[in-house]
Chain A
Amino acid sequence: MLSELVSPEVGPKIAPDPMRIPPADLSIPCAIDIKELRLFYDGRQAVNCSGLRVEKGSVMALVGPSGCGKSSILSCINRMSDLVPNCRVEGQILIDKIDVLDKKTNVKSLRKRVGMVFQRPNPFPKSIRENLALPLREHGIRNRAMIEEKIERALRDVGLWNEVYVRLDSPAMLLSGGQQQRLCIARAIVLEPEIILLDEPCSALDPISASVVEEFIVGLKGRYTIVVVTHNLAQARRIADSVSVCWVENDCGCLVESGDVNQIFSKPLCKITQSYIQGLRG
């Protein structure tokens, strides 16, 4: 049924209909401004995304079916796309008026300001303290008192401090899955970034751990700008302030609609959004 709404387009691939995306309110401070983004794998265009704006301090959920390019879009924001072989990225992503995709941008300092958390928890096989101290030392913070202070703050922010403060020197690998993922979030925020990117952070966790992690993501609102990729619409509704819906058209992922979470879920402007949301509700 959904396929009836996606009319097969004949001809060159074009950007989605501008009318589908409500005009951006340029007065709100914007942390991430994806002006245009085109991704090519092995020469074939895989993603075409334009006009995605993330408001400072808010949580934006990127939703859509598998393969529509949400994770790819996310990986471009902190240039993790550089690591993918045969991947070419074109366009402009502005963070604080600096174009992130520009070759001249210093990627290491970019990744200090934009943190990332992955689907499966990946703490280093070291102690809990070392997991958090290492990024700090690498980025120039040597003062031990300051390091301890930042570690405590990061662990409190993810609700781990009370659970682990007695065993900071024990291996991080001995933590449970949910604790490891919260440790990874702590590791991402210990550098005090402005933006945190989360790629399906709860999908590898059991429901209880997932809800704990969700709770702390919501707790970070306001202090950080957060972009979460998720295929779980209910989760998006729970934690996000705004939602962007991606879809696959002509073998190419694209941005279909973007807006406030309540508006998207109650009065979506686009038929695709409507059916996608209803499809999971109904």
Chain B
Amino acid sequence: MSIERSRITDAAVAIFLWVVSSAILLLVVSLLFNILWHGLPHVSWSFLVDTPQEAGRSGGIGPILVSSVLILTVCVAFAVPLGVGTAAFLTEYCKFSQRTNRGIQGSLDILSGVPSIVFGLFGNIFFCKILGLGFSILSGGLTLACMVLPVIVRTSEMSLRGVSPEIRQAIESLGLSKSGALFHILLPIAVPGITAGVILSVGRSLAEAAALIFTSGYVDRMPSSLSDSGRALAIHIYDLSMNVPGGDKNAYASAVVLIALLLAMSTLTRILVRITFQRTRIC
């Protein structure tokens, strides 16, 4: 291909890409703007705190925020010890046994691919019926814990493996016990990475609706305990847009709140990642 022809092609491609990208960027930005335009006016302190009235057409999302936070707390409380424990097992006890390592990783890989509606089905059977928890915040939180487990294991494992081999040499040569080394040296070094993984999981859980419909339920009252049913924010948005005529306004407002929370999470993660890099630079 002559230089002239390839230059023309290059220019044509550049023009094409500019047009396509600008168009999509415009579309995307206008959609985001749409959400803000319709939702922001309705977001106020009373919106965040009041109870929903008239099936959510008016009033606020107070109990819903509380339910969401409770579900997230249950999720993290179960997923973190389980996930970090599994990661510690993989890095400290599994080094020379490739088959166990691959088996656990494979099982977690499958878990990470399971569609959220299937998690909803599983949660319904296992937590609601078999464990007898019924439609409750506890069931919802536990189901979400299964869902985010692969993420937590992966980030914790990466953080633990990231500890420099020289530190591990020092640990061995001093004859420190495995438990002492893990709790006093390895985990403190891995904490920023693990926290980033936790925040990532919280972000994913906030966005989740399908897994919660059949596990934590629909009730939009303020929950009085973990065994009460509670409605998560994402489900509220779904209900308002699909089942409640005229619920659009508050659906938009709830969406704005949800997106704001997610933005806060991703900023937090970014800050944490920067702290981790600063620490490793001193190390």
Q: Which of A6-14, A29-37, A107-115, A223-231 contacts B (4 or more CB under 8 A)?
A: A107-115
Query: Which residue of the partner chain, among B166, B174, B184, B283, contacts A173 with CB atoms under 8 Å?
Result: B283
* Contacts known (A134-B185, A171-B282); A122 close to B169, Cβ less than 8 A: yes
- Among A110, A123, A138, A171, point to the contact of B177 (Cβ < 8 A): A138
Q: Which of B172, B189, B279 contacts A80 (CB 8 A)?
A: B172
Inter-subunit contact A124/B176 (CB<8 Å)? no
Interface size on A, residues (CB 8 A): 31
- Asked if B283 contacts A115 (CB within 8 A), the reply is no
Chain B: CB-nearest residue to A123: B170
If A134-B185, A138-B177, A138-B180 touch, does A125 touch B282 (CB 8 Å cutoff)?
yes
Whether, in the assembled complex, B167 has its beta carbon less than 8 Å from a beta carbon of chain A, the answer is yes
Are B189 and A138 in touch, CB under 8 angstroms?
Answer: no
| Residues A107 and B175 in contact, CB atoms below 8 Å apart | yes
Which residues does chain A contribute within 8 Å of B188, judged by CB atoms? Answer: 125-126
Count of inter-chain pairs, beta carbons less than 8 A: 67
In the complex, the answer to whether B169 meets A80 with C-beta atoms within 8 Å is: yes
Whole-angstrom CA separation of A105 from B88 in the bound complex = 27
In the complex, the answer to whether A124 meets B185 with C-beta atoms within 8 Å is: yes
In the complex, are the beta carbons of A110 and B169 less than 8 A apart? no
Determine whether B6 belongs to the interface, using a CB cutoff of 8 Å to chain A: no
Please state if A124 and B167 are interface contacts (CB–CB under 8 Å): yes
**Residues of chain B within 8 A of A171, CB atoms compared:** 282
Are B166 and A120 closer than 8 Å at their CB atoms?
yes
Task: Provide the bound-state CA to CA distance between A122 and B96, in Å.
Answer: 24
- Which residue of chain B has its CB nearest to the CB of A136? B174
Asked whether A118 and B184 contact (CB < 8 A) given A138-B174, A138-B176, A171-B282, the answer is no
Chain A interface mostly helix, strand, loop or mixed?
Answer: helix
B173 within 8 A of A: yes
- Closest Cβ of chain B to A95, distance in Å, is 14
Chain A's closest residue to B280 (CB) is A125
Distance in angstroms from A150 CB to nearest chain B CB is 14
Distance (whole angstroms) from the CB of A124 to the closest CB of chain B: 6
Closest Cβ neighbor of B178 among chain A residues:
A108
Of residues A118, A124, A135, which shows the largest number of chain B Cβ atoms within 10 Å of its Cβ?
Answer: A124
Contact between A122 and B166, CB atoms less than 8 A apart: yes
* Residue interface bits A161-172, CB-to-B below 8 A is 1, else 0: 000000000010
Which residues on the A side are within 8 Å of B164 (C-beta)?
122
Q: Do A118 and B175 touch (CB < 8 A)? A: no
Is there contact, CB below 8 Å, between A134 and B184? Answer: yes
What is the distance, in angstroms, from A181's C-beta to the closest C-beta of chain B? 12
A116 adjacent to B173 (CB under 8 Å): yes
CB-based contact B166/A118 at 8 Å: yes
| CB <8 Å contact, B175 and A112 | yes
- Min CB distance A182 to B, Å, is 15
Chain A residues in the interface with B (C-beta under 8 A): 78, 80, 83, 85, 107-112, 115-116, 118, 120, 122-126, 134-135, 137-139, 171, 173-174, 184, 187-188, 191
Q: List 9 A-B contacts (CB under 8 A).
A: A83-B169, A85-B96, A111-B173, A115-B173, A116-B173, A124-B167, A124-B185, A126-B185, A188-B174
Given A111-B174, A134-B184, 15 other A-B residues pairs in contact with their CB atoms under 8 A: A80-B172, A107-B175, A108-B177, A110-B175, A111-B175, A116-B173, A122-B164, A122-B169, A124-B170, A125-B282, A138-B174, A173-B282, A184-B170, A187-B174, A188-B174
